[in-house]
Amino acid sequence: MERKQLLDVLGLVRPALASTSLIQVLTHLCFAGEEVLAYNDQIGLSAPLATGLEGAVPGATLLSFLGASRAKEIEFTVGDVELNVRAGGARLKLPLLPPDSFLFQMPDAAKGDVLQVGKDLVAAIKSCLRSVSPDTSVPDQLGVTFIPKKKGVDLYSINGISMSRASVSLPAAPVQRRVVLAAAFCEQLVRLAAPDRRAELVIADDHALLRTRTDVRLFGKLVDVPKPLDFEAQFSEIVPGDLDKTSVEVPTALKLAIERALIIADPSGERAYTRLSVKDGALTLFTKSGRGEVRDRIKTVGHPDVDVQADAQWLKVGCAEFDRVLVTEGAVIFGGGRALYLVATTT
């Protein structure tokens, strides 16, 4: 088979390869005749690939070998306990584990809530990924929360410093219950579904399954959340009802002002917060640390007076992606379209 075609297909499932694991087979690619599969105990990925091979081989080694070759064609030969790979004048021998040693099988399309993954849903999931966290002590932080509404779904995420919300209109309200899709699953969903207008997402009892029009499948366990956070109440408490009137356009000068604040704030070292003061139609940003201090003054006509502190690193994210902003005692609120992004403030 063609080396480039093989690399392209293996690249689709590569994100589900474990880099290291106490369970060795999770670092392997499993070939199952007409498809190839990878699973790292968080997500599983499979893609159609007609090789006729049956068994699992070390994934990173095979991918590195193929990437270090310029051969046009690749030839596989199966021995009793090894796979021989020929690429031009190069030969590679890899240990071959039997198919039943692989600990995972991609489930068939399960019964559950079915969503057509259009561009609006992909954009909403991508928007909420900015506020996820690996902190396992708060399960809500581990992914994107789907909360069903009468005419669609609201998506939420939180990481202790910021919160995100995005609303999507969907026909017939296909999501029937609140679920949390794990961050790793959401990242791969965005990668696979963004260029695919016919991808389908099934939310089953304990997992989610994405299938693309080319029959690439993505599996992920749902995040178990015993005591869900009340996102709707938190947003209602922080975001004013007249946000459209009280917020202002993100000033053009704000992006570079935040970059200058980050130079002093030193995100890689001891963090220093940036003070944001709005008075008499002007926003002042002041940051001071062991590196020095920096002050910027930006015109913000129509913004109410306020004096708070916030983390410039998270402000940078909002400034780059939204067109409206409101600084309050509870949060710096960025908005655009049907999405909101809140960065926590202190006084």
| Residue 198 pLDDT | 87
Q: For each of the chain's 347 residues, which pLDDT tens digit applies?
A: 899 999 999 999 999 999 887 788 999 999 998 999 999 999 999 999 999 899 999 999 999 999 999 999 999 999 889 999 999 999 999 999 998 899 899 988 767 788 889 999 999 999 999 999 998 899 999 999 999 998 899 999 999 999 999 999 987 767 889 999 999 999 999 999 999 888 999 999 899 999 999 999 999 999 999 999 999 999 999 999 999 999 999 999 999 999 999 999 976 667 789 999 999 899 999 999 989 999 999 999 889 999 999 999 999 999 989 999 999 999 999 999 899 999 999 98
- What pLDDT is stored for residue 90 in this prediction? 95
State residue 198 phi and psi, 5-degree precision: -125, 15
Q: How many CA atoms lie within 13 A of 168 on its CB side?
A: 27
State the amino acid at position 215 in one-letter form.
Answer: D
pLDDT value, residue 270? 72
- The answer to whether the beta carbons of residues 162 and 341 sit under 8 Å apart is yes
347 exposed, middle or buried (CB, 10 Å; 0-12, 13-18, 19+)? exposed
The residue among 254, 311, 314 whose CA lies nearest residue 283 is 254
| Local structure of 307: helix, strand or coil | strand
Give the model's pLDDT for residue 223.
97
Which pLDDT does position 110 carry in this prediction?
Answer: 66
- DSSP letters along 236-280, please? HHHS-TTHHHH-EEPPTTHHHHHHHHHHHH-TTSS--PEEEEEET
Integer CA distances (angstroms), 76 to 31, 62, 63, 80, 84, in order:
12, 12, 14, 13, 6
d(CA 304, CA 100): 65
Give the length of the chain.
347
What pTM did the predictor assign? 0.92
pLDDT score, position 329? 95
